[in-house]
């Protein structure tokens, strides 16, 4: 008579009683454990792939919405510039009004450029990686002359 203790098989559906497990050889048990681990790893990889696809779709949708918002902001800036140009042309010549709007945009562009350049200088790249590689002990580094005794 078998005991009520049961273990799930590799497919998750079949079960084995404790007596059946006790009656199995070590090789059979190791094969089952290896099969179960392999199945588990495949399932985990498939789950990770599904999650990455889902997150990729979300990121793509967010990027598209940010692109749309950027284009909308560009259109706002364009039409505000045209409105400013038209408003200034009521007070002065249209050419001078256009030049004033262009100078305002040049100043904005210069400010954005200098801010971007300042932030770009702060980017270090792979300095931490290169620092850690430089700290590898000399014994682990390859020597062109080979092993010396």
Residue 145 placed within a domain: no
Instruction: State how far the Cα of 135 lies from the Cα of 128, in Å rounded to an integer.
Output: 11
Residue-range definition of the domain harbouring residue 99 = 7-136
Note if the pTM is more than 0.75: no
* CB-based contact 7:15 (threshold 8 Å): yes
- Torsion sign, CA atoms 67, 70, 72, 75: negative
The Cα-based distances of 71 to 65, 75, 133 in angstroms read 10, 6, 44
Residue 99 placed within a domain: yes
Instruction: State how far the Cα of 39 lies from the Cα of 33, in Å rounded to an integer.
Output: 10
Residue 143 placed within a domain: no
Residue 22 placed within a domain: yes
From the CA atom positions of the chain, what is the Rg in Å? 34
Residue 51 placed within a domain: yes
Residue 146 placed within a domain: no
Q: Please state the domain count of the chain.
A: 1
Tell me the per-residue pLDDT of 80-127, one tens digit each, with 9 for 90 and over.
999 999 999 999 999 999 999 999 999 999 999 999 998 888 877 656
Instruction: State how far the Cα of 104 lies from the Cα of 25, in Å rounded to an integer.
Output: 84
Instruction: State how far the Cα of 24 lies from the Cα of 7, in Å rounded to an integer.
Output: 13
Residue 26 placed within a domain: yes
The Cα-based distances of 132 to 124, 129, 141, 142 in angstroms read 14, 5, 13, 16
Tell me the per-residue pLDDT of 39-93, one tens digit each, with 9 for 90 and over.
888 888 888 888 888 888 889 999 999 999 999 999 999 999 999 999 999 999 9
Beta-carbon contacts of residue 8 (< 8 Å; ≥ 6 apart): 14, 15
Residue 37 placed within a domain: yes
């Amino acid at each position: 008579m078998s005991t009520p203790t049961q273990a799930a098989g590799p497919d998750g559906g079949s079960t084995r009683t404790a007596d059946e497990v006790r009656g199995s050889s070590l090789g059979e048990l190791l094969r089952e454990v290896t099969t179960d681990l392999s199945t588990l790893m495949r399932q985990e990889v498939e789950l990770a792939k599904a999650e990455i696809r889902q997150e990729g779709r979300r990121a793509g949708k967010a990027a598209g919405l940010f692109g749309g918002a950027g284009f909308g902001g560009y259109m706002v800036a364009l039409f505000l510039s045209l409105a400013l140009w038209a408003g200034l042309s009521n007070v002065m010549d249209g050419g001078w009004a256009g030049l004033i709007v262009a100078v305002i945009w040049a100043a904005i562009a210069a400010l954005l450029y200098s801010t971007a350049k300042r932030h770009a200088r702060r980017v270090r790249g792979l300095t931490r990686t290169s620092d850690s590689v430089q700290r590898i002990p000399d014994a682990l580094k390859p020597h062109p002359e080979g092993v010396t005794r």
